[in-house]
Amino acid sequence: MLGDRVSSISDLTSDGLKVYSATGSVDQFAPKCLDLFAGAGGLAVGFREAGWAIVGGNDMSKDASATFRLNFPEAVFFEGSVAALTAELVLQKCGLAEGELDCLIGGPPCQSFSYNNHHRSDSDDRARLFEHYLRIVRGLKPKTLVMENVPGILTIGGGSVITAIRTALAEMDYETTLDVLSAEEFGTPQVRRRVFIVASRIGEPESLLPLPTHRPADSRKLKRKKMKGLKKTVTVLDAIGDLPPLENGKGAQVADRAGITAFSGFQRNARRGIRKLYNHVCHGLTSVNLDRIVHVPEGGNWRDIPRDLLPAGMQRAKLTDHTKRYGRLARCGFASTLLTKCDPHWGAYIHPTQDRTISVREAARLQGFPDKFRFAGESLGAQYEQVGNAVPVPLAIAIGNAVLAHLIQHASANSACGESSNKDSRDSSEPAQRKKAA
Ligand SMILES: C[S@@+](CC[C@H](N)C(=O)[O-])C[C@H]1O[C@@H](n2cnc3c(N)ncnc32)[C@H](O)[C@@H]1O
């Protein structure tokens, strides 16, 4: 659909993995990173913005592959299941030696992975994504790695998944730490909490996790002293207020910008380097849903809809249930976590002042994607899905910066002392960026 710069397939492995070679070049002096389970590439955009060279990516989704290749022509792309990917193939196609990769990013989706899941079988590929991830780590030996996941990963199997990952990484000589980071504390206009498991084989991993730069969603929780130095949070209006109005179900994949000037720093940043407006299209609501949402004010939700207009299943719901369903965003508030569908039945995806769902571009802004990042995919649903799946870009930039600082700090220590003295070269007086996670 938008594939003007997309690379063409250069190889098809016997396992059905499509290898697309790079059509652009990377800065040879920049640290190198590879993205597994890349999706559209939210994590990778953040790393690139932080100064990293994205040398490769992998995802099994054709739509995600099309988007990634459109936006990262400099990277080799491996389209297909990670189960078919080998470290040898990555090293060969990306022109890397074992141990040369500076960071492996991307987290295996964990929805289906639970040791408590009685339907889990050894032949279920989805249940084995972590094992494949660790297999690739074993073969590539990256200096550092960053895995993103949903907070639920901390509790599935009574914590056994996390323990299994940390144990496997320790056996490969990595030290690991983890934390739950909140996107709004890094300048994203969205409340979204994600777990980051980070590991290093060149130094203490604590400095791989960034400290918040913005106030939390509920700043009443913070004492005045702690607020010092933190920036004001970014609101929905700051993020999408300059995008032209749309009618329900309308918009265009490519359009000229209507004459609205940017009026926030966030908007000016988002618009940098691109004149056209891509993906400003919204999913059409049925007339039944339109009749419902006209009753919902800014910041309101399903409780504002007359009972007899609600879907049958919700008419019996308690007022305390499903608080975000049929929600309308508030201009001065945050978006709640974007999911893979901007369906009002799932959450708060109604535009603050127009009777329609947010467009793909508005969703992308709420995830911190710059406007020059374009979403491909065979359907509008596929584009929303890629946006909803992504790591918010401002959070990814903060992590990219932290890992880069760690690399610079420890690369110079290692080059002074020799690689073999990695662990001895760690200076215990180095300021740790955050407390060691439990
Ligand atoms: C949460 S999304 C990743 C989002 C990405 N980190 C970003 O920031 O945009 C997880 C991705 O894993 C991919 N995936 C799921 N199973 C896979 C498999 N077996 N092999 C490769 N990719 C897979 C999905 O297609 C999806 O795009």
State pLDDT tens for residues 170-191.
Answer: 999 999 999 999 999 999 999 9
Q: Does 40 reside within a domain?
A: yes
Which entry of 33, 94, 103, 110 is annotated as an active-site residue?
A: 110
39 C-alpha vs ligand 1 centroid, how far in Å?
5
Residue 381 in 3-state DSSP?
helix
Q: Does 128 reside within a domain?
A: yes
41 C-alpha vs ligand 1 centroid, how far in Å?
9
Cβ proximity of 224 and 254 under 8 Å = no
pLDDT tens per residue, range 199-222: 999 999 988 999 999 998 876 666
Q: Does 426 reside within a domain?
A: no
Residues 306 and 349 in one domain: yes
* Residue 126: predicted pLDDT: 57
Q: In whole angstroms, give the CA distance from residue 198 to residue 179.
A: 9
**pLDDT-flagged residues of the chain (< 50):** 1-4, 113-118, 120-123, 418-433, 435-438
Cβ proximity of 110 and 150 under 8 Å = yes
Residues 221 and 314 in one domain: no
Residue at a domain's end among 204, 231, 258: 231
SS3 content of the chain, % helix, strand, coil (to 5): 35, 15, 50
Q: In whole angstroms, give the CA distance from residue 254 to residue 67.
A: 15
Residues 213 and 290 in one domain: no
| Residue 117 buriedness (CB in 10 A; 0-12 / 13-18 / 19+) | middle
Residue with CA at minimum distance from ligand 1 atom 1: 389
Residue 110 is among the residues annotated as catalytic for this protein? yes
Residues 221 and 333 in one domain: no
Going by the DSSP 8-state scheme, the letter that residue 262 receives in this structure is: P
Going by the DSSP 8-state scheme, the letter that residue 214 receives in this structure is: B
394 C-alpha vs ligand 1 centroid, how far in Å?
19
Residue 120 in 3-state DSSP?
coil
- Residues composing the chain: 438
CB-based contacts of 320, cutoff 8 Å, min separation 6: none
Q: Does 402 reside within a domain?
A: no
Q: Does 433 reside within a domain?
A: no
CATH number at residue 357: 3.90.120.10
- Atom index in ligand 1 nearest the CA of residue 129 equals 19
Residues 102 and 210 in one domain: yes
Residue at a domain's end among 231, 261, 292: 231
Residues 380 and 338 in one domain: yes
Residues 221 and 242 in one domain: no
Q: In whole angstroms, give the CA distance from residue 47 to residue 54.
A: 8
Residue from 13, 52, 60 to probe ligand 1 pocket by mutation (most atoms less than 8 Å from CB): 60
| Residue 431 buriedness (CB in 10 A; 0-12 / 13-18 / 19+) | exposed
* Residue 342: predicted pLDDT: 87
Residue 184 in 3-state DSSP?
helix
Neighbours of 49 (CB within 10 A): 16
Q: In whole angstroms, give the CA distance from residue 117 to residue 260.
A: 51
CB-based contacts of 46, cutoff 8 Å, min separation 6: 391, 393, 394, 395, 396, 397, 398, 399, 400
* Residue 1: predicted pLDDT: 43
User: Within 6 Å (CB) of ligand 1, which residues are found?
Assistant: 37-43, 58-61, 64, 81-83, 106, 109, 125, 129, 148, 389-391
**Alpha helices, H only, 41-145:** 42-49, 62-71, 87-94, 129-140
Q: What is the dihedral of CA 397, 436, 194, 402, to 10 degrees?
A: 10
Residues 188 and 265 in one domain: no
Cβ proximity of 336 and 368 under 8 Å = no
Residue at a domain's end among 191, 216, 231: 231
Residues 222 and 294 in one domain: no
Residues 204 and 254 in one domain: no
Element (H, E) at 411: helix 393-417
Q: What's the domain count of the chain? A: 2
Residues 212 and 319 in one domain: no
Query: 65 is in which domain, residue-wise?
Result: 9-231
Residues 38 and 148 in one domain: yes
214 C-alpha vs ligand 1 centroid, how far in Å?
28
Residue with CA at minimum distance from ligand 1 atom 13: 37
CATH number at residue 169: 3.40.50.150
Residue with CA at minimum distance from ligand 1 atom 26: 39
